[in-house]
Structure 1
Amino acid sequence: MRRSVAWALVLLTVAGTAASATARRGTTAAEALQPALNAVVASGTPGALVLVEDGTSRMQVESGLAELRGGVPLRAGDRFRAGSITKTFVAVVVLQLVREGRLSLDDTLERRLPGFVPNGRRVTIRQLLAHTSGLSDYVADERFLRLTASAPRRHWSPRELVRRAERMGPTGSPGETFAYASTNYVLLGLVVERVTGTTIGEQLRSRIFAPLGLRGTDFVPDAWTGGRYVHGYVPSVHDGIVGSLATARDRSDASASWAWAAGALVSTASDLSRFFGALLGGQLLPPRLVELMRPAPSRRYGLGLAAFETPCGRAVGHTGNLLGTVSAAWSTADGRRRVVAMTNSYPLSAAADTAFRRLLDAAFCRR
């Protein structure tokens, strides 16, 4: 399960049935990407999709199934859990509050959440956004992950999640080193709620979803029921070997409360692309704050955006996985070229992991 933490930053066949695939007609780009997409499904995931936009053209390709039971085909517009891509959305809300003068990047946790965490006087909003707070990641606790699997409908409060991290002890001194931790964004969600007097879900909807017209996007921290959506599957793992889909568990109806502000977003490929285009194009924040979000040339992470090295240069964006779904949103620094990809099985086998990364590289680098 440690791989789930790594997949937040790096890239990172249905039994008895040939993978079905459809592409938007008349697009040679789609035809060129179809083999790479099919390879992800053939490596052992139910389905996969990819969207590519570059300002002048738009292409979507999908392959395989959204749900194994009943053989429901995957469609390009289907909704799925976006996992840690949620963090970029939450970072935008925090930085909008900074722009409005309601928060400062140098505010301490002790000021905004008095008595909430030990050493809160030394941890700042900037450090939480950049994952340099020194706080441990509760998701790295194997015992905690076993609890979420054994009690999938249990509701976890944000305070419980932070307490889990505290019991693990610090990873270092605040501001000292980068250590990715969902704990940081759970705390940022609590800060937003304390400053605004409303929920993080309401802030996301009023500040981002509604203004950008993201009709397929919502904040869903509890079990997701009703409507059409991509089901996420968790294969068994024995001695590091990922099992087949025949024994995989459907986790799509489990609670995502344990991810909360760090990962409970539900979205579509189209909505995620629109969001990153708007963000990097300056529609959500002034240029100085967008620049802070982008990782510096020598860094892997900025204030809510990660960097990814590709064969054709650096991409910025975020990746994530949650409840059997893996997703990635990559963009050029100016937001003009964007790629969103998703596959609905996790952990990925070595072959599937390689195939998904190749799909992303092929989609991002194709001109």
Structure 2
Amino acid sequence: MPTRTRGRRRPRIALSAAAFTAAVLGATLLQPAQAADGHPTRHDPHLQRQLDRLVAQADGPPGVIALLTRGDRTQVYTAGVGDITTGRPPRPDDHMRIASAAKAFSGAVALRLVDQGRLSLDDTIADLLPGQPSAWGAVTLRQLLAHTSGLPDYSAAPEFVAILTADPHHVFDPRRLLDFVADKPLLFSPGSLYEYSNSDNIAVALMAEAATGRSYEDLLEELVYRPLGLPRTSLPLGYRLPRPFIHGYAVAPPAAPEDVSEAFGASGAWASGGIVSTPRELGRFIRAYAGPTLLSQPTRTAQLAFRPGDSSEPPGPGTNAAGLAIFQYTTRCGVLYGHTGNTAGYTQLMAATPDGTRSLTFSVNTQTSPRIKPALLARLRTVQEDFACALLKNG
């Protein structure tokens, strides 16, 4: 088990109830849009200026990378740097923490198991996880995927926060994360309200394991990574990132940016946010997951039964609505399906058209949310909507 090295400086990061928080100071090194094969391609100067301005903000990200994919053609827009030390720009095949975008992966596992008849959306915690509190027993897989379960959020538990604060590299047993709130009642009657909770997707992964007798990691490989062609996507337990990676930074102007890429281990997030992927592979995943081919039509209909007004964390562009481990983003130019995420050093958006032929991934190497730098988030969502419009309008 990795332990905190003697004398290692603890990162300047405060822990929030829903995520590990970070702030970042930007540095600017502008890069032209490029095709996925590395050759320069015609790009929209307005979109490039939007990225340039984003990284030029005093509290903006050091770097940003956005991929617009239409069919077999991908445009890559970047601004700033993915590594302040070397000046290296962010690249499509660089690894990065995808934070709560990982919840869509647990959704993909669960919904594919539903299609195979190994899970049902009406399966309950009592059915599959009898070791969990009896008070939680009536919660269904459908409610977990929709964030209407009422499960208390383990990542807000004082004991969990204390352990992580004392040793950010602590390796948790991910299958015991719900123990931190096992003495807590449900926050509300299942199905009656929406509340985004990291506990939901931990329970989803545990139900998938119970139904199959397979580890969640093996199920990801069997049902998601291999069929979708995601060789650079993984779910580590430690704090190291595969090389090369987009560095994530905390910033608090006028302090210098602090690299927090490997400040925390992934075991404390697991199925709720521990996955590491790349901009290119995020696009490949969301085109399949949001599109019509990965799931049967009945399962997809259940997946896309959206609740208006319920948003991802952080909110995505436009007006948000929540489905089963997927969100609908209604922009001024049309609708996308996707997911967002934020964690120390990273904020993510992946979204695709309902037909699965076009996608947008938008990654910045700082954390922002409604609680952390809300003004930056507002600016970020504006830029994301401009990119969404470019994706939806252009042929």
**TM superposition score normalised by structure 2:** 0.82
Separation in structure 2 between the aligned mates of residue 3 and residue 115 of structure 1, nearest angstrom:
25
Separation in structure 2 between the aligned mates of residue 331 and residue 63 of structure 1, nearest angstrom:
22
Alignment of structure 1 residues 55-204 onto 2, 5 Å: 55=71, 57-141=73-157, 144-145=160-161, 147-204=163-220
Offset, 1:103: 1.4
SS at match of 2:82: strand
In the alignment, what sits opposite 2:45?
31
In the alignment, what sits opposite 2:386?
362
Q: 2:28–2:55: 8 Å Cα contact kept in structure 1?
A: no
Offset, 1:352: 2.9
Selected match of 1:289 from 299, 314, 328: 299
The reply on whether 1:265 has 2:265 as its aligned counterpart is no
Separation in structure 1 between the aligned mates of residue 82 and residue 67 of structure 2, nearest angstrom:
16
Selected match of 1:218 from 231, 234, 238: 234
CA deviation vs aligned residue, 1:27-48 (integer Å, no higher than 9, x gap): 4434332111112211221111
Offset, 1:223: 1.5
In the alignment, what sits opposite 1:239?
none
Unaligned runs of 5+ in 1: 8-12, 236-241
Offset, 1:61: 1.0
Separation in structure 2 between the aligned mates of residue 98 and residue 172 of structure 1, nearest angstrom:
26
Q: 1:105–1:124: 8 Å Cα contact kept in structure 2?
A: yes
Which amino acid letter does the alignment assign opposite residue 178 of structure 2?
V
- Alpha carbons of 1:121 and 1:67: their partners in 2 closer, same or farther (altered >3 Å)? same
In the alignment, what sits opposite 2:340?
319
Which amino acid letter does the alignment assign opposite residue 29 of structure 1?
H
CA deviation vs aligned residue, 1:272-309 (integer Å, no higher than 9, x gap): 11112122333321122122222436362111101223
Separation in structure 1 between the aligned mates of residue 193 and residue 233 of structure 2, nearest angstrom:
33
Separation in structure 1 between the aligned mates of residue 79 and residue 17 of structure 2, nearest angstrom:
25
SS at match of 1:29: coil
Q: 1:112–1:191: 8 Å Cα contact kept in structure 2?
A: yes
Separation in structure 2 between the aligned mates of residue 218 and residue 363 of structure 1, nearest angstrom:
27
CA RMSD of aligned residues (A): 2.6
Offset, 1:168: 5.0
SS at match of 1:67: coil
Separation in structure 1 between the aligned mates of residue 153 and residue 136 of structure 2, nearest angstrom:
16
Q: 1:79–1:268: 8 Å Cα contact kept in structure 2?
A: yes
SS at match of 2:195: coil
Separation in structure 2 between the aligned mates of residue 95 and residue 173 of structure 1, nearest angstrom:
24
Which amino acid letter does the alignment assign opposite residue 269 of structure 2?
A
In the alignment, what sits opposite 1:40?
54
SS at match of 1:127: helix
Which has the higher mean CA deviation after the structures are superposed, 185-194 or 54-63?
54-63
Separation in structure 1 between the aligned mates of residue 87 and residue 128 of structure 2, nearest angstrom:
49
In the alignment, what sits opposite 1:333?
354
- Alpha carbons of 1:251 and 1:146: their partners in 2 closer, same or farther (altered >3 Å)? farther
SS at match of 1:355: helix
SS at match of 1:346: coil
Q: Identical aligned pairs, as a percentage?
A: 31
Offset, 1:227: 1.6
Unaligned runs of 5+ in 2: 1-14, 310-320
Offset, 1:189: 1.0
The reply on whether 1:255 has 2:265 as its aligned counterpart is yes
SS at match of 2:135: coil
Offset, 1:6: 12
- Please identify runs of 4+ aligned residues in structure 1 that moved more than 6 A: none
CA deviation vs aligned residue, 1:213-247 (integer Å, no higher than 9, x gap): 11221122321245211122233xxxxxx545615
Separation in structure 2 between the aligned mates of residue 37 and residue 187 of structure 1, nearest angstrom:
37
Offset, 1:320: 0.5
In the alignment, what sits opposite 1:238?
none
Number of matched pairs: 355
Which has the higher mean CA deviation after the structures are superposed, 62-71 or 261-270?
62-71
